[in-house]
Amino acid sequence: MCISDPCHHGAWSEVLQKVGFNGGVPITVEFSMKNMTGKTNEQNALSLFPDWDQDQLSKVIQEKEALFERLARKHLKEINGLHKFCKWIEEKGLKHAAVTNAPRYNAELMISSLGLSDFFPLIVTGKCGRAKPFLDPYLKALRELNVSPDHTLVFEDSVVGVKAGVAAGMQVIGVAAEGQEKLLIEAGATLWIRDYQDEKLWLALEKLDTSQSL
């Protein structure tokens, strides 16, 4: 929905430099995209510091989230065409939910910043069970909305998110900047779009049977 990866990358990069990860050399955007994007803070912290105890992991997560919040309030912006797409969903009367690995307060901050707090009747986080790339969050959303995976589309901008949607039996549309589409297609996305104004998206939507829930 929004371009938040630069904020996550900036927050993680600053924290990791502070603790001396990678010899103090800043992590690259490519490293973040391949190894971190879409994962929970806990998943990332455990992957980066497998030998740390829980107190150390919790501290670095707290610092990262504080930095992310400051960056997000200043720099967060919607992916082009998002509100147009949300209006289309409302006009069609389609069921919808936000499914994310972000902590709830983080997710609510982003949704509020986009002016979409009243749009989403349901927000599912990774705390519902196993986080993405496992299918648990999407299964919970399907149950709560009472919809079939056969008539549901997922929009994802991360490899772990694509894998979760595919595992739950749904078609996934990857949303990513040009140059990153290969990772999402390899993860199982059936279509890649740059943003919600992409002509490929609207051509695909025209073919949908919207009498069923999206």
Interatomic CA distance for residues 92 and 71, integer angstroms: 35
**Token representation of residue 209:** 């049977």
DSSP-assigned beta bridge partners for residue 156: 174
| 8 Å CB contact between 184 and 155 | no
Given this structure, which CATH class describes domain 82-206?
A: alpha beta
The DSSP 8-state label assigned to residue 208 in this structure reads S
- CATH numeric code, 5-75: 1.10.150
| 8 Å CB contact between 125 and 100 | yes
| 8 Å CB contact between 204 and 189 | no
Where do the structural domains in the chain lie, given as residue ranges? 5-75, 82-206
Q: Can 5-75 and 82-206 be said to share one CATH topology?
A: no
4-62 per-position pLDDT tens digit = 788 889 999 999 999 999 898 999 988 988 888 888 899 999 999 999 999 999 999 99
- HEC secondary structure over 112-155: HHCCCCCCCCCEECHHHCCCCCCCHHHHHHHHHHCCCHHHCEEE
63-118 per-position pLDDT tens digit = 999 998 888 888 888 899 999 999 999 999 999 999 999 889 888 988 998 899 99
Q: What pTM did the predictor assign?
A: 0.77
